[in-house]
Chain A
């Protein structure tokens, strides 16, 4: 029983149950989300643990982490604020929005606030083009959308996060 199995025994069983016995490998993506829950990124240890659970090599698990953008092999801010600046949103002022937001936070795109609270990133279309500007907030625990945003609304949201963290 490795670290991950000890911690999430039941959840892992529930995940494995979704896929055919001999197709365990299919569980790698949900297990990676599980592994990312606390740390917000995938540690080398959890890659090994997942490999062991699914009878894969750590390399096979790692390439999944590398291919998909919602998995991280490096720690980031506790909250990843991901602003869509793809074409439809850009046509509705998303780029200015992002620029101003970063200005106010005193960081550049891709950077993390000094207190390690938020990392601001720009991402491709989030399927909310009619409610631009919008961003999603990703933490280890999950993902939520914030639509029809203004720089003000975004900043006050970040404030509430700050308070919550204190």
Chain B
């Protein structure tokens, strides 16, 4: 049987063409749902499948759909195609090569929560993808798979794309909704959560592209079929984005529970030029640094196990760090990113990322003392738990784990400074 649920285009040529997709049972699931299933039944299947959000939080998808307020209408579905986490490039491959399966997922989700309009929010850089999607959506209207009174029922659905314009924060679901409403992309207070108060203040389901792309096959083949992949608590497959110091970077769709070692060495072909792996960032720039011990490498990659090695699976975008990389340099990179992307709404994130950037620059630039490292640690800890949204909280993960787990690197950097300081000419007086 097939090894792919999501990246099926890799074995089915031209799956991106509507007729090919339909030859491979495309839109059967949507047809089945609309014509022969109650919305609640669709939600039940997805619940039973144990599908969890692939956008990072890993929240059970069926449960999210069930939360949608039935007393407040209309409802909306928004597909999160903002894919801006450094090291993440999976949704892109899906939308470029297996777009119809994604669109069918959007459609089924919309039917499940009885939304008649769904938006796909893409990061502005995905301009070309958005235009391809527009054409494909047009094809779907033309072939009666979208539009009014679908399959002779009274259910109608429209799907629109909406381009962001360069803001990582718009991946955060409430910031995305604000942005979609034509406002600054700044996060809302939560609660209320989108299923009760979402787009235009209406109940809304926000799901990641990968999450939604799982749905058609789940509805077609049933929950137990889906559960044969992955683990008890983290069923199904996941696209792992492999980047950094690795021989074969790219997307790998593997069952959840695959170990780091399998991914990095069997699939990713190991570290270039036979160098040593030093650390792993399993969730892009937003994750803690895992020390690449054997124990860590043999840890299964699922939502439950990764925390045991002091990180989170998140979006499963693994950035591989080898022994030539200096951690102070690395966190300087991540902090520059977060400083650049902080929306500015809340004080700790706005000021903290800015302050940390000054410190990491000084440290990475070898102009720092150990006090600066201590201060950096303080500033990061001072932000912890105080930010309005997770961006600020993410920004300190690499910093704190880095200083704690790779103290040596920092001592080296500071040592360099001390040395430099000693060479300074002594003022003659």
Contact = CB atoms under 8 A, between A and B. Distances in A.
Indicate yes or no for A touching B, C-beta below 8 A: yes
B95 to A, nearest CB: 11
B26 interface: no
Interface string B226-270: 000000000000000111110001110000000000000000000
Interface stretch (A3-11, A67-75, A105-113): A67-75
Interface in B318-361: 319-321, 325, 330, 333-334, 337, 340-341, 343
A21 B1 CA distance: 48
Most buried by A among B83, B241, B249: B249
Most buried by B among A33, A67, A143: A67
B182 A142 contact: no
B134 to A, nearest CB: 11
Given A129-B87, A143-B127, A143-B128, A90 B333 contact: yes
Interface of A: 18, 20, 23, 25-30, 32-33, 54, 63-64, 67-71, 86-88, 90-92, 123-130, 132, 136, 142-145
A26 B89 contact: no
A124 B165 contact: no
Given A87-B334, A128-B92, A130-B250, 20 more contacts: A29-B162, A29-B165, A68-B185, A69-B167, A70-B165, A71-B165, A87-B330, A88-B86, A90-B333, A124-B84, A125-B85, A125-B87, A125-B88, A127-B88, A127-B123, A129-B243, A142-B131, A144-B128, A145-B125, A145-B128
B84 A88 contact: no
A95 to B, nearest CB: 10
Nearest first, the 7 A-B pairs at minimum CB distance are A69-B166, A68-B165, A130-B249, A25-B182, A143-B127, A129-B243, A125-B86
A26 B166 CA distance: 17
A28 B243 contact: no
Contacts of B325: 91
**Do most interface residues of chain B lie in helix, strand or loop, or is the interface mixed?**
mixed
8 contacts: A54-B182, A68-B185, A87-B244, A88-B87, A123-B166, A124-B341, A130-B242, A142-B131
Nearest to B325: A91
B222 interface: no
Contacts of B249: 92, 129-130
Nearest to B320: A91
B306 interface: no
Nearest to B322: A91
Contacts of A124: 84, 86, 168, 337, 340-341
Contacts of A63: 184
Contacts of A27: 182
Contacts of A123: 166
Contacts of A90: 333
Nearest to B119: A18
Contacts of B200: 20, 23, 26
A15 B38 CA distance: 33
B180 interface: yes
B160 interface: yes
Contact of A68 (B127, B164, B321, B334): B164
Contact of A87 (B125, B126, B131, B319): B319
A67 B164 CA distance: 11
A22 B380 CA distance: 43
Nearest to A84: B86
Contacts of A20: 200
A142 B181 contact: no
Interface string B154-171: 000000101111111000
